[in-house]
Amino acid sequence: MEYEIQTEKQSLIVKVRGELDHHYADILRKKIDAELLSVRVRNVIFDFSGLTFMDSSGIGMLMGRYKTVRHLGGEIRIVCAEKTATDRYGRSVPDGIERILDMSGVFRFIRRCATVEEALKDV
Amino acid sequence: MNGKNYFQCEFSARSQNEALARAVVTAFVLPLDPTVEELSDLRTAVSEAVTNSIIHGYRRVFSPQEDPAEEAEVDGREDIRCGETGGEPGATPAGDMEDGMPLIRLTCRYCGPKTVRISVEDFGCGIEDIALARQPMYTSSPELERSGLGFTIMESFMDSLEVQSEVGKGTKVVMTKAFLPPEKE
């Protein structure tokens, strides 16, 4: 996993690339929480466009940040197009990350945006 | 491709080895020609099983009281959740140790036409109530920000899931997946 954290006005933009499992979710969680404590921001925008793998640890990390950010009076946004894969019939189907995001129900309380710019306008 | 094949390995219960387990399983099943999607499902299920062993199987045995996240360095830290600090007196895992760490055993087998069976086994605290643990959104560790989706993901990403566990002895998760089109289509 590689990540980049930037601050834009009141939002933290967290770009994550590669594989987000329990090992890296723990690392990312601490980095984000440290930023939330030290910088005057209240929103977190996760850019998952470059994410290639995620398991339930990523969901735990998202839900935890959701709680923290709500305490600060802020919002969370997820940036990525619907992630798809091709099945045995050549049809386009939701990929693993997409299905886990769906299964977890995070989209019931975290809005998804197509681009970081859109997310910044939306928070 | 059919035929038989078998592979077993053990690795220490460190979170960095979750990626190792995914890589090993990927290499083992590639000759069965999975689609990218099927492979990704398998990798996710294995990741969930190994994470469960590290977080739930061994955590209570080793460091039940302190929040392991507290003092840990963020970068390059060891997974001290089940680290060398040890737990309560007498609370040792049922299995062998390596470098002061308990072990996870990963077994892979071709078990039918383009079908693989994978088991992930730990020798930790075991699960008291398997039916409860398998319920969606249930977690025994809300303080660790777990989503409670592990077993649900394994179940829906694989063709079968079996959980064997004994308190104080450990837990074994056995999963199968066929890299074939579903029968009805």
d(CA B173, CA B165): 8
Chain A residues whose beta carbon lies within 8 Å of the beta carbon of residue B75: 27
Count CB-CB contacts under 10 A for residue B168. 12
Cβ distance B43 to B29 under 8 Å?
no
Mean pLDDT computed over B76-83: 37
Interface test with B, best of A24, A38, A57, A100 (most B CBs within 10 A): A57
Cβ distance B132 to B142 under 8 Å?
no
Whole-structure pTM over 0.80, yes or no? yes
Q: What is the pLDDT of residues A30-85, one digit of tens each?
A: 999 999 998 889 999 999 999 999 999 999 999 999 999 999 999 999 999 999 99
At B142, the pLDDT band (50, 70, 90 cuts) reads: confident
End-to-end CA distance of chain A: 26
d(CA B51, CA B15): 7
Q: What is the pLDDT of residues A97-123, one digit of tens each?
A: 999 999 999 999 999 999 999 999 999
Chain A residues whose beta carbon lies within 8 Å of the beta carbon of residue B104: none
Interface test with B, best of A3, A20, A23 (most B CBs within 10 A): A23
Identify the residue whose tokens are 């600060």. Answer: A72
Q: What is the pLDDT of residues B143-166, one digit of tens each?
A: 888 889 999 999 999 999 999 999
Chain A residues whose beta carbon lies within 8 Å of the beta carbon of residue B51: 21-22, 55-57
The answer, for A94 touching chain B at a CB cutoff of 8 Å, is no
The answer on pLDDT for B81 being more than 50 is no
Chain A residues whose beta carbon lies within 8 Å of the beta carbon of residue B147: 56-57, 59-60, 63, 104
CA–chain centroid gap for B132, Å, is: 18
Measured in angstroms, the CA of A21 and the nearest CA of chain B are apart by 7
CA angle at residue A101 from A95 to A105, to 5 degrees? 140
Active site residues of B: 48, 52, 146
Cβ distance B172 to B123 under 8 Å?
no
Measured in angstroms, the CA of A117 and the nearest CA of chain B are apart by 29
d(CA B120, CA B105): 6
Helix axis angle, A56-71 relative to B36-52, nearest 10°?
A: 70
The answer, for B156 touching chain A at a CB cutoff of 8 Å, is yes
The pLDDT of residue B97: 86
Length of chain A: 123
Q: Nearest CB to A85: which of B40, B54, B156?
A: B40
Between chains, do A27 and B75 touch, taking CB under 8 Å as contact? Answer: yes
- The residue of chain A nearest to residue B181, with distances taken between CA atoms, is A88
The pLDDT of residue B1: 52
Identify the residue whose tokens are 């996760």. Answer: A46
Q: State the amino acid at position B76 in one-letter form.
A: G
Closest CA to B104 of B130, B123, B79, B128: B123
HSE of B130, CA atoms in CB hemisphere, 13 A: 12
The two structure tokens encoding residue A118: 């859109």
Between chains, do A30 and B74 touch, taking CB under 8 Å as contact? Answer: yes
Identify the residue whose tokens are 């939306």. Answer: A122
